[in-house]
């Protein structure tokens, strides 16, 4: 009962207003009379935050008291987006806030949109981690996320003269969602030397000494679940100069300047998120980030375990650690170091504990994304860890040798150390060897891992170490929050919002596919969502688009394998076709808006060239009176989570057109279909399973299959290459300077015409154009189109991260939810 009367509760708009005003006037020290949207946002966030904190503390107490097995999700990226709307949904009382804000002269939507996105991630992998946290809390799993508290998240993108320009994203000022824990710190060592000694019993010991110490400070973020009291913790580490005595020596010695420089260097570790997506660059600072975060997290996890006074052998019964890609692989080595060097366990016993604890998720088969670190670099930064890696490798290769005698090639292929110049540490192999389960993120991807990249390891360990867990998205953010009207309509038909926690209930919608009134409501919602997107387009680009046109969307990181170039070449083809039409023919054209969005890694020139071409095509097409409303081309700048929440509900069709076999899963494909958009795509990643669920009738598939790719590339390599004739016309237009100086785009056309067309743009072009013709055709039959839209949503239940998390819990972590009583 005491909880009902705690100071921060509110269940009516009057009580909410009281809390809001109190926070504005006292916490923020502002007057209500010059309170703008931003202050209203801060006050509202603080009022809801108070409510979260209570459940957060209780959840942590409950989890400590129950002492069940916990899950730790290690990810260098958490692409959270905004928190307030989600807090309102999970705390409840959004309507009280809406009414209270209205009384004070604010629109809740304007207030919510004041919040700066928490953009601590690049794309799919980081957003997946954020969806996982939401599902873990919603399903009452005792789980923590561990990451880095970057001062700068992913850069803000501006488009200037058609070029991407990167602006630093400083986001930490006035962030009400994080709680500094200045008492939770860990000293992290770098560099130094390893000294071998013996203890009293003659046992060999390794002392890692004389390194540089950097301090890790914990910042905690509450993660509320939906429809539950569970509020889990996301712990982000920030780097700071160590305050140890050693470090004051320089100050005392009068070397003030170099002492300050040392401090700055320490803070650099958590300064910035590396903006590469699916590309690794081998920079020392990145390795420092990885170790800093792994070591701090492991120390914290071990500290929590040791408080329970259990035997070390019980560690894997209490702790499951999941590695989000290879970025946290050093955690495996660090764990072994803690057990052997510090806790004095025997190597074999320690290693059994380690491998039972870790699981590794792979997100890509692209060779350029596979992490490798140079041995000399690692030797210098983490000398003891390199020794341990060599030791792990030695025992592993001995094991392989015993089971596959006289196969030198195999030993070379699977060695953690690549015998190149310089030698390299293969992080994926280390992650496989140190984990009990390895999973891919969609069926095709997991199959490809087993038959190509990790084939030798399947031979060595047997197939059971390798599994698939197909990705998903959280229906709270990606249906209910992003598309409140659709969520309300579904709830009206299904008799409540239970589908938000059991997404398979959507299958009941199938009964309404032929319900005319329902179809009309469904279509009206899509239409209003398109108006909302048209407004965003107007605000961000200045262009006016017709909401009745077919909205064709491709938003994701810009990458050659994702083939935005195929899309823009298709748009140019469409433009040329319209230009060649008579007035009579034009009447039959389905008006279309081609919408792009996404960031290119700052050093990825080809991706930047693709952005430039899209913007130059937009310049020409959008002002061409011959075309008018029949075609518009839009590049929405600075694509991020909160823009995605506007874009996903507003597509008629979206594009998921990667070269077959290259996209691990894709998750925006799921978001678009869940919001009633149809998709055009290749047989790649999760598109395949989406097709299986919603049926081939409801998706526009095209292009070569993964099994054909190798052969096609081989043929290209041996000069057997014919540019598709329709694509040739597109290239001719580009080369005629139709979209500005063709020299800007020559590298892009040459990569296809002259350098082997690695991503098979030309091979798939004809099939792509044909698929779009079918899209145009079918869009004209709105009745059928809406029926497909409804039928697809009805069959999307599989793609909830709630299902995903339960699969990880059963097949990898072996953890149970913690029951929460009221």
Given the residues 51, 437, 445, 671, the one annotated as active site: 671
* Shortest distance in whole angstroms from residue 51 CB to ligand 26Q: 32
Q: Which of 667, 682, 749, 801 is catalytic?
A: 667
Contacts of 391 (CB under 8 A, 6+ apart): 347
One residue of 44, 231, 270, 364 binding ligand 26Q per CB under 6 A: 364
- Residue 363 annotated among the catalytic residues of the structure: yes
134 binds ligand 26Q (CB under 6 A): no
Comparison of 23 and 327: residue with beta carbon closer to ligand 26Q = 327
Looking at the Cβ atoms of 286 and 497, the one nearer to ligand 26Q is: 286
Q: Where are the beta strands (DSSP E) in 286-408?
A: 319-324, 358-361, 372-374
Number of Cβ within a 10 Å radius of residue 342: 10
In the complex with ligand 26Q, the residue whose CB is nearer, 281 or 755, is 281
- Cβ proximity to ligand 26Q: between 471 and 749 the closer is 471
Among 162, 383, 685, 740, binds ligand 26Q (CB under 6 A): 685
Give me the count of residues in the chain.
822
Site for ligand 26Q in 282-301 (CB under 6 A): 286
- Which residue among 664, 677, 703, 797 contacts ligand 26Q (CB under 6 A)? 664
Kindly indicate which of the ranges 226-234, 250-258, 642-650, 665-673 contains the residues binding ligand 26Q, using the contact rule CB under 6 A: 665-673
Q: Which stretch binds ligand 26Q (CB under 6 A): 199-207, 273-281, 390-398, 813-821?
A: 273-281
Stretch binding ligand 26Q (CB under 6 A), from 657-665, 721-729, 758-766, 806-814: 657-665
Query: Which residue lies nearer to ligand 26Q by CB, 302 or 365?
Result: 365
| Site map (CB under 6 A) of ligand 26Q, residues 317-356, x = contact | ----------------------------------------
Distance, in Å, from the CA atom of 139 to the CA atom of 778, rounded to the nearest integer, reads: 40
Choosing from 530, 557, 788, 795, which is the catalytic residue?
Answer: 557
Note whether 478 binds ligand 26Q by CB under 6 A: no
Q: Quick one: how far is CA 241 from the chain centroid?
A: 30
**Using H for helix, E for strand and C for coil, what is the string for 544-592?**
CCCCCCEEEEEECCCCHHHCHHHHHHHHHHHHHHHHCCCHHHHCCCCCE
Binds ligand 26Q by CB under 6 A, chosen from 159, 186, 369, 621: 369
Q: Pairing between strand 70-74 and 143-148? A: parallel
In the complex, the smallest distance separating the C-beta of residue 324 from ligand 26Q, rounded to whole angstroms, is 9
- For tokens 């998120």, what's the residue? 273
User: Interacting stretch for ligand 26Q, rule CB under 6 A, among 230-238, 272-280, 457-465, 523-531?
Assistant: 272-280
276 binds ligand 26Q (CB under 6 A): yes
Q: Binding of ligand 26Q at residue 273 (CB under 6 A)?
A: no
Specify the stretch interacting with ligand 26Q by CB under 6 A; choose among 261-269, 339-347, 661-669, 689-697.
Answer: 661-669
DSSP code of 63? H
| 153 scored as a contact of ligand 26Q (CB under 6 A) | no
Indicate which single residue of 278, 467, 529, 792 sits in contact with ligand 26Q (rule: CB under 6 A): 278
436 is annotated as an active-site residue: no
Q: Is 288 a catalytic residue?
A: no
* 377 burial via Cβ count (<10 Å: 0-12, 13-18, 19+): middle
Cα distance between residue 286 and residue 549, in whole Å: 45
Residue 236: which of 297, 154, 322 has the closest Cα? 297
Q: Which of 556, 574, 592, 772 is catalytic?
A: 556
Considering the rule CB under 6 A, would residue 635 count as an interface residue with ligand 26Q?
A: no
For ligand 26Q, the closer of residues 74 and 319 by Cβ is: 74
The number of angstroms, rounded, from the C-alpha of 658 to the middle of its chain's C-alpha atoms is: 17
Choice from 124, 142, 225, 797 touching ligand 26Q (CB under 6 A) = 124
Task: Tell which one of 667, 749, 751, 800 touches ligand 26Q (CB under 6 A).
Answer: 667
- The secondary structure of 747-808 as a DSSP string is HHHHHHHTS--TT-HHHHHHHHHHHHHHHHHHHT-HHHHHHHHHHHHHT-GGGBHHHHHHHH
Closest CA to 744 of 627, 606, 573, 619: 606
Of 83 and 129, which CB lies nearer to ligand 26Q in the complex structure? 129
* 128 binding ligand 26Q? (CB under 6 A): yes
Q: How far is the CB of 682 from ligand 26Q (least distance, A)?
A: 13
How many Å apart are CA 264 and CA 440, to the nearest integer? 39
Check residue 74 for interaction with ligand 26Q (CB under 6 A).
no
Specify burial of residue 708 (Cβ count, 10 A radius: 0-12, 13-18, 19+): middle
- Using CB under 6 A as the binding rule, whether residue 378 contacts ligand 26Q is answered as no
E strand map for 242-366: 319-324, 358-361
Cross-strand pairs, 189 = 213
Q: Which has the closest alpha carbon to 499: 66, 794, 256?
A: 794
Q: Which residue bears the tokens 């060999």?
A: 204
Residue 441 within binding range of ligand 26Q, rule CB under 6 A: yes
The answer to whether 482 and 498 are in contact (CB under 8 A) is no
739 with 624: CB under 8 angstroms?
A: no
Number of residues interacting with ligand 26Q: please give it, by CB under 6 A. 24
Per CB under 6 A, does 471 bind ligand 26Q? Answer: yes
Task: Name residue, tokens 């958490």.
Answer: 78
* Min dist. Cβ of residue 664 to ligand 26Q (A): 3
662 binds ligand 26Q (CB under 6 A): no
Q: What are phi and psi of 503, to 5 degrees?
A: -65, -20
Angle, CA 396 vertex, CA 391 and CA 399 arms, to 5°: 130
Query: Which one of 94, 127, 156, 363 is the catalytic residue?
Result: 363
Sheet (strand 678-681) strand order = 631-636, 592-597, 550-555, 653-656, 678-681, 700-701
Element (H, E) at 207: strand 204-209
Contacts of 377 (CB under 8 A, 6+ apart): 282, 284, 287
Q: Of the two residues 363 and 530, which places its CB atom closer to ligand 26Q in the complex?
A: 363
CB-based contacts of 622, cutoff 8 Å, min separation 6: 543, 632, 633
Q: What is the DSSP letter of 816?
A: -
Q: Is 671 designated active site?
A: yes
Q: Does 371 bind ligand 26Q (CB under 6 A)?
A: yes
Contact 627, 578 (CB under 8 A): yes
* All residues at 6 or more sequence positions from 689 whose CB lies less than 8 Å from its CB, including other chains: 442, 443, 470, 798
> C-beta of 558: minimal distance to ligand 26Q in Å?
13
Whole-number minimum distance, CB 293 to ligand 26Q, in Å? 13
Burial class (CB in 10 A: 0-12, 13-18, 19+), 54: middle
Report, in Å, the least distance between residue 691 CB and ligand 26Q. Answer: 16
Cα 111 to Cα 65, 82, 107, 119, 478, distances in angstroms: 39, 12, 6, 19, 20
Nearest residue to ligand 26Q, scored by beta-carbon proximity? 124
Considering only residues 235, 337, 363, 788, which one is a binding residue for ligand 26Q as defined by CB under 6 A? Answer: 363
Query: Counting contacts by CB under 6 A, is residue 663 touching ligand 26Q?
Result: yes
Among residues 93, 122, 242, 541, the one that binds ligand 26Q under rule CB under 6 A? 122
DSSP string, 687-714: HHHHHHHH-GGG-EE-S--HHHHHHHHH
Closest approach of ligand 26Q to the CB of residue 604, in Å: 12
Residue 19: CB atoms within 10 Å = 24
Is position 274 an interface residue for ligand 26Q (rule: CB under 6 A)? yes
If the CB atoms of residues 293 and 575 are measured against ligand 26Q, the closer one turns out to be: 293
Query: To the nearest whole angstrom, how small is the minimum distance from the Cβ of residue 205 to ligand 26Q?
Result: 33
Closest approach, Cβ 303 to ligand 26Q, in A, equals 28
Contact 318, 310 (CB under 8 A): yes
281 catalytic per annotation: no
Please say which residue, 372 or 532, places its beta carbon nearer to ligand 26Q.
Answer: 372
Q: Which residues bind ligand 26Q (CB under 6 A)?
A: 122-125, 128, 274, 276-278, 280-281, 286, 363-364, 369, 371, 441, 471, 663-667, 685
> Which residues carry out catalysis?
363, 556-557, 562, 667, 671
């Amino acid at each position: 009962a005491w909880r009902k009367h705690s100071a921060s509760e509110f269940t009516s708009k009057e009580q909410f207003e009281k809390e809001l005003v109190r926070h504005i006037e006292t916490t923020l020290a502002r007057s209500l009379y010059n309170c703008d949207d931003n202050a209203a946002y801060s006050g509202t966030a603080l009022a809801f935050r108070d409510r979260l904190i209570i459940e957060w503390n209780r959840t942590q107490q409950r989890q400590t008291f129950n002492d069940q097995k916990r899950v730790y999700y290690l990810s260098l990226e958490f692409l959270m987006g905004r928190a307030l709307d989600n807090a309102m949904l999970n705390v409840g009382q959004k309507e009280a806030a809406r009414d209270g804000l209205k009384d004070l002269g604010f629109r809740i939507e304007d207030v919510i949109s004041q919040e700066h996105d928490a953009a601590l991630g690049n794309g799919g992998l980081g957003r997946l981690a954020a969806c996982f946290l939401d599902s873990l809390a919603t399903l009452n799993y005792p789980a923590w996320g561990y990451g880095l508290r970057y001062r700068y998240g992913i850069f803000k993108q501006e488009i200037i003269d058609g070029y991407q320009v990167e602006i630093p994203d400083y986001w930490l000022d006035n962030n009400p969602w994080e709680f500094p824990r200045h008492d939770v710190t860990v000293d992290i060592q770098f560099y130094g030397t390893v000294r071998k000694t013996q203890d009293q019993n003659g046992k060999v010991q390794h002392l890692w000494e004389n390194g540089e110490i950097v301090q890790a400070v914990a910042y905690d973020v509450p993660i509320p679940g939906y429809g539950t009291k569970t509020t889990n913790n996301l712990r982000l580490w920030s780097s700071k100069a160590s305050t140890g005595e050693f470090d004051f020596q320089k100050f005392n010695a009068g070397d003030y300047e170099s002492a300050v420089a040392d401090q700055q260097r320490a803070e650099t570790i958590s300064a910035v998120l590396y903006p590469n997506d699916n590309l690794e660059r081998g920079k020392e600072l990145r390795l420092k980030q990885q170790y800093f975060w792994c070591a701090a997290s492991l120390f914290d996890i071990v500290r929590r375990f040791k408080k329970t006074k259990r035997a070390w052998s019980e560690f894997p019964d209490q702790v499951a650690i999941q590695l989000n890609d290879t970025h946290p692989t050093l955690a495996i080595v660090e764990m072994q170091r803690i057990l052997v060097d510090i806790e004095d366990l025997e190597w074999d016993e320690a290693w059994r504990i380690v491998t039972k604890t870790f699981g590794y998720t792979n997100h890509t088969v692209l060779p350029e994304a596979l992490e490798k670190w140079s041995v000399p670099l690692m030797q210098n930064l983490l000398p003891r860890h390199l020794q341990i890696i060599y030791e792990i490798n030695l025992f592993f290769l001995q094991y392989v040798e015993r089971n596959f005698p006289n196969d030198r090639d195999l030993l070379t292929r699977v060695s953690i150390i690549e015998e190149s110049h310089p030698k390299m540490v293969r992080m994926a192999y280390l992650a496989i060897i140190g984990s009990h389960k390895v999973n891919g993120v969609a069926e095709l991807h997991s199959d490809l891992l087993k038959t190509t990249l990790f084939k030798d390891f399947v031979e060595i360990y047997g197939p059971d170490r390798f599994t698939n867990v197909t990705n998903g998205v959280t229906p709270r953010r990606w249906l209910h929050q992003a598309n409140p009207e659709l969520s309300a309509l579904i709830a009206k038909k299904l008799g409540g919002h239970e589908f938000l926690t059991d997404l398979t209930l959507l299958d009941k919608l199938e009964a309404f596919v032929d319900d005319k009134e329902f179809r009309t409501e469904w279509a009206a919602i899509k239409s209003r969502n398109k108006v909302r997107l048209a407004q965003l387009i107007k605000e961000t680009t200045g262009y006016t688009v017709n909401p009745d046109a077919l909205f064709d969307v491709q938003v994701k990181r810009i990458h050659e394998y994702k083939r935005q170039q195929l899309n823009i070449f298709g748009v140019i083809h469409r433009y040329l076709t319209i230009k060649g039409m008579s007035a009579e023919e034009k009447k039959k054209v389905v008006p279309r808006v081609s919408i792009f969005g996404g960031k290119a890694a700052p050093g990825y020139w080809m991706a930047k060239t693709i952005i430039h071409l899209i913007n130059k095509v937009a310049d020409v097409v959008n002002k061409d009176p011959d075309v008018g409303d029949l075609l518009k081309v839009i590049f929405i700048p600075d694509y991020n989570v909160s823009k995605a929440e506007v874009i996903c509900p507003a597509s008629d069709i979206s594009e998921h057109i990667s070269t077959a076999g290259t996209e691990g899963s894709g998750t925006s494909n799921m978001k678009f279909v869940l919001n009633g958009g149809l998709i055009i795509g290749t047989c790649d990643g999760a598109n395949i399973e989406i097709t299986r669920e919603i049926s081939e009738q409801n998706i526009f598939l095209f292009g070569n299959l993964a099994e054909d790719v190798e052969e096609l590339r081989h043929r290209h390599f041996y000069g057997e290459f014919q540019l598709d004739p329709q694509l040739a016309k597109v290239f001719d237009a580009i080369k005629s300077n139709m979209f500005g100086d063709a020299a800007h785009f020559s590298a892009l056309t040459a990569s296809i015409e002259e350098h082997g067309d690695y991503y098979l743009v030309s091979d798939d072009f004809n099939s792509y154009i044909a698929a779009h013709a079918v899209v145009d055709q079918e869009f004209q039959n709105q009745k059928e189109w809406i029926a497909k839209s409804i039928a697809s949503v009805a069959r999307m239940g599989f793609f909830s991260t709630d299902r995903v998390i339960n699969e990880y819990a059963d097949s990898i972590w072996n953890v149970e939810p913690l029951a929460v009583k009221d």
